[in-house]
């Protein structure tokens, strides 16, 4: 039941709106895709630990398919396929970035086994 509420929340966040072709619009779709895929990746990691190895793929495809569905509805309602295509492409690029970054850099579990103890932690990577 809890996962249904989370999925409905993702659908509510992805509300229908009329798009235009400005840098701000496309950046908002890119950032929205990254945040949405990151949230989905986190949800998969937390509630479906058996799918951890596929969490980036699940997050990317779920976010991308939701945006494609939303863009299709917008196209049917308002036309202007070029605007909808650019919005969808921006969101999909953001989804790829968000899914990869979340699964590779934010949700990397670290397990160290010594003779007497097991240490579990979260490892954050950053290059200087």
- Cα distance between residue 60 and residue 36, in whole Å: 9
Which pLDDT score is estimated for 7? Answer: 72
How many Cα atoms within 13 Å fall on the side-chain side of residue 81?
A: 1
Give 15 or 107, the one with higher predicted confidence. Answer: 107
Asked, for residue 128, whether it belongs to a domain, the answer is no
Within-domain flag for 127? no
pLDDT per position as a tens digit, 74-106: 888 887 778 788 889 999 999 999 999 888 877
Across residues 32-45, what is the average pLDDT? Answer: 91
Instruction: Examine residue 26 and state whether it is found in any structural domain, yes or no.
Output: yes
Give domain status of residue 107, yes or no: yes
pLDDT of residue 58: 94
pTM above 0.75, yes or no: no
The domain total for the chain is 1
| Distance of alpha carbon 111 from alpha carbon 117, whole angstroms | 11
The share of the chain scoring above pLDDT 70, in percent, equals: 75
């Amino acid at each position: 039941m809890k996962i249904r509420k989370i999925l409905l929340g993702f659908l509510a966040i992805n509300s229908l709106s009329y798009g235009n072709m400005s840098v701000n619009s496309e950046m908002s779709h890119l950032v929205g895709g990254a945040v949405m895929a990151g949230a989905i990746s986190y949800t998969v990691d937390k509630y479906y630990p058996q799918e951890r190895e596929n969490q980036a793929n699940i997050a990317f495809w779920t976010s991308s398919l939701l945006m494609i569905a939303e863009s299709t509805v917008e196209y049917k309602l308002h036309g202007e396929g070029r605007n909808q295509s650019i919005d969808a492409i921006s969101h999909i690029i953001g989804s790829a970035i968000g899914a990869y970054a979340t699964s590779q850099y934010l949700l990397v579990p670290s397990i160290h086994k010594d003779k007497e103890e097991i240490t579990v932690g979260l490892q954050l990577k950053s290059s200087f």
